[in-house]
């Protein structure tokens, strides 16, 4: 049976409903302005869960009632916290996207030097033919779309097609999505995957003065790419990020050994697993920016919540309570 559609409510009616459910809502006009700018669905439906009463089994009680002392300001703080978190992660993920594209372009082109070699099915691993065909199709379509007559302005792909008759992979990768790079790597032949994994191992040892000696494997890179793509999509589309999970991520367990972590990474990967994964593949200077930005964010918000412990937010992020030990660069 279909649920009855929820009728339109004015901002005043929405605030009245929140007060009826036990939420502390100031009368200074700030909540009204927040609903006008952000919207009830995005703000309240998006970030209320942490502040709702639950039964002894941990299930949310219906009709919904807010926990004691829960306030509108706390929900708004969590919204702003998550927005700032997305900005921090987006910067790091974009950097890794560039690094991965450069690695793929170099190592694939090194192995297959013919023009348009990335369009030849035999140059891939043959493990999943439908995925390989889809990858080749996406590469071909990218070139086609960027050289279409509808594209009036000049771009690098159009320039190479018009002047040289083909597009080098090191140009093409700059026009691919992270998802396309993810599948490109996954479909590469084993020797190409291995060379890229060894490159990441070399960078990690070199930048951290040989502190980390356990090699990065193709399995690890594939797992990191899958996780990074999951969060890349989330931050790019303004999804709720702090509590986001990627279920079934067994390949990430190798990161515990690579980074000599005293704790295991969850197979239900969250923000903590993402950050540790990025440490493996990002240049140290970029990881330092990421870790310092996260430390500052967490420090700025840890005293903004009173009805719930800040540890509850850390828990939703899969962060240990002693997270500073993991984010500090040594």
Q: Is residue 307 part of a domain?
A: yes
Domain boundary among 49, 70, 91: 70
pLDDT band with cut points at 50, 70 and 90 for residue 49 = very high
What's the pLDDT at 210?
84
Q: What are phi and psi of 116, to 5 degrees?
A: 60, 30
What residues does 136 pair with on adjacent strands?
A: none
Dist CA 31 CA 26 (whole Å): 7
pLDDT mean over 172-184 = 96
Q: Is residue 6 part of a domain?
A: no
Helix axes 72-111, 284-301, angle to 10 degrees: 170
Judgement on whether residues 276 and 158 belong to the same structural domain of the protein: yes
Judgement on whether residues 36 and 171 belong to the same structural domain of the protein: no
Q: Is residue 88 part of a domain?
A: yes
Pick the closest to residue 9 from 49, 48, 39 (CA basis): 39
Distance of CA 204 to the CA centre of its chain: 21
Judgement on whether residues 272 and 304 belong to the same structural domain of the protein: yes
Is residue 196 scored above 80 in pLDDT? yes
Q: Is residue 138 part of a domain?
A: yes
Is 279:294 a contact under the CB 8 Å cutoff?
A: no
Count how many domains the chain has. Answer: 2
Judgement on whether residues 25 and 162 belong to the same structural domain of the protein: no
pLDDT mean over 277-300 = 96
Q: Is residue 1 part of a domain?
A: no
- DSSP codes, 222-283: HHHHHHHHHHHHHHHTT---TT--B---GGGHHHHHHTT-SSPPPSSB-HHHHHHHHHHHS-
Report the sign of the C-alpha dihedral through residues 284, 285, 286, 289, in that order.
positive
Domain boundary among 21, 48, 70: 70
Q: Is residue 4 part of a domain?
A: no
Q: Is residue 260 part of a domain?
A: yes
pLDDT band with cut points at 50, 70 and 90 for residue 2 = low
Judgement on whether residues 104 and 132 belong to the same structural domain of the protein: yes
The token duo for 255 is 């990161």
Residue range 295-317, pLDDT digits in tens: 999 999 999 999 999 999 999 99
Judgement on whether residues 52 and 173 belong to the same structural domain of the protein: no
Dist CA 158 CA 196 (whole Å): 29
Dist CA 157 CA 145 (whole Å): 10
What's the pLDDT at 154?
85
The token duo for 300 is 């700025």
Kindly report the average pLDDT of the chain as a whole number. 93
pLDDT band with cut points at 50, 70 and 90 for residue 262 = confident
Judgement on whether residues 277 and 302 belong to the same structural domain of the protein: yes
Is residue 241 scored above 80 in pLDDT? yes
Judgement on whether residues 158 and 45 belong to the same structural domain of the protein: no
Helix axes 178-187, 129-146, angle to 10 degrees: 140
The token duo for 125 is 């691993």
Judgement on whether residues 233 and 186 belong to the same structural domain of the protein: yes
Judgement on whether residues 15 and 66 belong to the same structural domain of the protein: yes
What's the pLDDT at 125?
96
What's the pLDDT at 248?
78
Domain boundary among 42, 70, 98: 70
Q: Containing domain of residue 162, as a range?
A: 82-327
pLDDT band with cut points at 50, 70 and 90 for residue 44 = very high
The pTM assigned to this predicted structure is 0.92
Q: Is residue 174 part of a domain?
A: yes
Judgement on whether residues 162 and 247 belong to the same structural domain of the protein: yes
Pick the closest to residue 78 from 53, 102, 103, 42 (CA basis): 42
Judgement on whether residues 99 and 17 belong to the same structural domain of the protein: no
pLDDT band with cut points at 50, 70 and 90 for residue 293 = very high
Length of the chain: 330
What's the pLDDT at 6?
80
Dihedral of the alpha carbons of 11, 14, 19, 25, in degrees to the nearest 10: -40
Q: What is the CA radius of gyration of the chain?
A: 24
Dist CA 254 CA 273 (whole Å): 11
């Amino acid at each position: 049976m279909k649920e009855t559609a929820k009728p339109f409510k004015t901002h005043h009616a929405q605030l009245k409903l929140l007060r009826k459910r036990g939420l502390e809502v100031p009368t200074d006009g700030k909540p009204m302005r927040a609903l006008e700018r952000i919207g009830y669905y995005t703000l309240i439906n998006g970030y209320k869960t942490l502040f709702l009463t639950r039964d002894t089994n941990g299930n949310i009680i219906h009709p919904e009632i807010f926990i004691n002392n829960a306030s509108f300001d706390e929900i708004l703080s969590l919204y702003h916290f998550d927005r700032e978190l997305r900005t921090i992660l987006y910067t790091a993920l974009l950097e890794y996207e560039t690094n991965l594209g450069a690695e793929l372009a170099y190592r694939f082109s090194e192995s297959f030097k013919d023009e348009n070699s990335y369009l030849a099915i035999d140059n891939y691993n043959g493990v999943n033919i439908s995925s390989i065909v889809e990858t080749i199709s996406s590469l071909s379509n990218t070139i086609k779309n960027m050289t279409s007559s509808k594209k009036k302005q000049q771009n690098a792909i159009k320039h190479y097609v018009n002047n040289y008759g083909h597009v080098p992979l090191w140009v093409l990768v700059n026009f691919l999505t992270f998802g396309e790079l993810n599948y490109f790597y996954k479909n590469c032949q084993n020797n190409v995957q291995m060379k890229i994994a060894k490159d990441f191992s070399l960078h990690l040892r070199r930048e951290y003065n040989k502190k980390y000696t356990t090699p990065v494997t193709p399995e690890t890179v594939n797992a990191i790419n899958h996780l990074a793509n999951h969060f890349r999509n989330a931050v790019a589309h303004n999804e709720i990020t702090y509590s986001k999970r990627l279920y079934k991520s067994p390949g990430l367990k190798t990161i515990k050994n690579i980074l000599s972590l005293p704790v295991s990474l969850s197979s239900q990967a969250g923000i903590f697993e993402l950050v540790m994964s990025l440490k493996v593949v990002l240049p140290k200077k970029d990881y330092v920016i990421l870790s310092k930005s996260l430390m500052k964010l967490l420090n700025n918000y840890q005293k903004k919540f009173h009805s719930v412990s800040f540890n509850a937010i850390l828990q939703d992020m899969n962060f240990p309570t002693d997270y500073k030990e993991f984010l500090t660069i040594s």
